[in-house]
């Protein structure tokens, strides 16, 4: 530490001399400066050791009961034990997750306010929203991914009675303007997944955004819209009850939780693939020791057999990465979704 700070002392000493302070005052000024620097350094080095000393607030940009909420609650107890503190969830839903993101971007970087972000909040929104009140890259510290999430093309068979992806595409093309699709909100992964499907299949379906997953699914069940791309974990109960029909999952491979459902690529639209992820973020300048501690707690939870099996049963793929690996994931995914937005012409209108 002293070696690293020597150039600073030399420069400050030079500045003090240039200020033409009396010679007898320079040693005193340097002494005050050295004391201040070491106090700051000591505080910085012990800060992470004292953390956490109170509950952590996890801010979520989507409603209670949504897929991201389910994943968070599945992991919560294990992470609390690893960090020896409580986690309190705060819901700030709306604007595709931007309300929650703005709140965390402007929060103190003390490790007590975290964001449960998604590929939408940190990949899609930068391309979709023109005047965000924060920078999705500069104003956040990526901490850890949680899971990769597959969407599944879900229909109300009473509105559009088809059994395969190919039949779906053919029926929509034969009835242009008749069918609309739902999403869990403007700019969400479900919106962009369907927009990409819409474009690649040559359809012209109108987007109907809802305020969240539960509302969007109910819109499909009631027949207000014909279909939705939604996360496997949130749609399974409605599928098992017979209220909706599943045509294809959006990932490259089939999903264990609904293994009998083909991929969209194999069922009617070759080459199609779309998935999202959930992950934890802190405000910019978060202490690296704190980020690494949270990352370690998350990875430990994901490696716990019972938790891992639960997440897989819900249709998720646990994703374990270091802080640096997750930073790269976020950066690469932002570029991918920016390309999707440009290709599909998706808007938030």
Q: For 129-177, how does the pLDDT look when each residue is reduced to its tens digit (9 = 90+)? A: 888 999 999 999 999 999 999 999 999 999 999 999 999 999 999 999 9
78 in any annotated domain: yes
Instruction: Give the three-class secondary structure for 278.
Output: strand
Cα gap 192→186, rounded to integer Å = 9
Half-sphere exposure of 235 (CA within 13 A, CB side): 34
Structural domain that includes position 110: 56-149+276-344
Residue 62 in contact with residue 230, Cβ under 8 Å? no
- The single-letter DSSP state of residue 131 is S
Decide which of 267, 293, 323 is a domain's last residue: 267
Claim to verify: residue 157 and residue 258 sit in the same structural domain = yes
For residue 248, pLDDT over 70 is answered with yes
Cα gap 124→119, rounded to integer Å = 7
Decide which of 236, 267, 298 is a domain's last residue: 267
Claim to verify: residue 7 and residue 17 sit in the same structural domain = yes
273 or 26: which carries more pLDDT confidence? 273
Claim to verify: residue 320 and residue 280 sit in the same structural domain = yes
39 in any annotated domain: no
50 in any annotated domain: no
Claim to verify: residue 263 and residue 154 sit in the same structural domain = yes
319 in any annotated domain: yes
44 in any annotated domain: no
Cα gap 168→277, rounded to integer Å = 27
Claim to verify: residue 171 and residue 256 sit in the same structural domain = yes
The angle, 0 to 180 degrees and rounded to 10, between the axes of the packed helices 26-50 and 2-18 is 150
For residue 25, pLDDT over 70 is answered with no
Claim to verify: residue 193 and residue 216 sit in the same structural domain = yes
- Segment 11-32 shows an average pLDDT of 55
Looking up residue 135, the CATH number of its domain turns out to be 3.40.190.150
Indicate the number of domains in the chain: 3
Claim to verify: residue 2 and residue 108 sit in the same structural domain = no
For residue 13, pLDDT over 60 is answered with no
Decide which of 210, 242, 267 is a domain's last residue: 267
Got the DSSP string for 227-248?
EEEEEHHHHHHHHHTTSSEEEE
Claim to verify: residue 76 and residue 113 sit in the same structural domain = yes
Claim to verify: residue 133 and residue 280 sit in the same structural domain = yes
Residue 83 in contact with residue 291, Cβ under 8 Å? no
90 phi and psi angles, rounded to 5 deg: -125, 120
The angle, 0 to 180 degrees and rounded to 10, between the axes of the packed helices 189-200 and 323-344 is 50
Residue 88 in contact with residue 56, Cβ under 8 Å? yes
* Percent of the chain with pLDDT strictly greater than 70: 86
User: Lowest mean pLDDT: which of 17-31, 64-78, 186-200?
Assistant: 17-31
- CA-CA-CA-CA dihedral for 318, 321, 325, 330, to nearest 10: 30
Claim to verify: residue 30 and residue 101 sit in the same structural domain = no
Looking up residue 168, the CATH number of its domain turns out to be 3.40.190.10
């Amino acid at each position: 530490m002293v070696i690293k700070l020597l150039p600073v002392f030399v420069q400050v000493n030079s500045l003090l001399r240039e200020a033409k302070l009396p010679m007898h005052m320079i040693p005193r000024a340097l002494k005050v400066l050295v004391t201040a620097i070491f106090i700051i350094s000591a505080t910085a080095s012990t800060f992470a050791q004292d953390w956490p000393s109170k509950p952590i607030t996890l801010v979520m940009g989507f409603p209670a009961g949504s897929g991201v909420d389910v994943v968070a609650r599945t992991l919560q107890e294990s992470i609390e034990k690893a960090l020896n503190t409580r986690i309190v969830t705060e819901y700030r839903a709306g604007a595709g997750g931007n309300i929650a993101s703005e709140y965390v971007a402007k929060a103190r970087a003390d490790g007590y306010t975290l964001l449960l972000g998604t590929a939408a909040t940190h990949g899609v929104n930068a391309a979709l929203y023109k005047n965000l009140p924060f920078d999705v890259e500069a104003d956040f510290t990526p901490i850890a991914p949680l899971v990769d999430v597959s969407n599944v093309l879900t229909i109300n068979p009473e509105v559009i009675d088809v059994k395969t992806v190919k039949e779906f595409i053919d029926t929509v093309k034969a009835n242009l303007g008749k069918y609309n699709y739902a999403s869990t909100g403007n700019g969400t992964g479900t919106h962009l997944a369907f927009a990409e499907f819409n474009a690649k299949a040559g359809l012209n379906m109108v987007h109907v955004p809802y305020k969240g997953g539960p509302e969007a699914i109910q819109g499909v069940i009631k027949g207000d819209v014909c279909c939705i791309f939604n996360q496997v974990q949130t749609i399974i109960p409605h599928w098992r009850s017979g209220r909706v029909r599943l045509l294809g999952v959006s990932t490259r491979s089939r999903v264990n939780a609904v293994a009998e459902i083909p991929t969209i690529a194999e069922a009617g639209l070759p080459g199609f693939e779309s998935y999202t992820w959930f992950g934890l973020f802190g405000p910019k300048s978060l202490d690296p020791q704190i980020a690494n501690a949270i990352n370690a707690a998350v990875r430990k939870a994901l490696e716990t057999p019972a938790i891992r099996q639960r997440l897989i049963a819900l249709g998720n793929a646990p994703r374990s990465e270091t802080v640096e690996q997750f930073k790269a994931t976020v950066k690469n995914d932002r570029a991918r979704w920016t390309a999707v937005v440009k290709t599909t012409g998706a808007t938030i209108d």
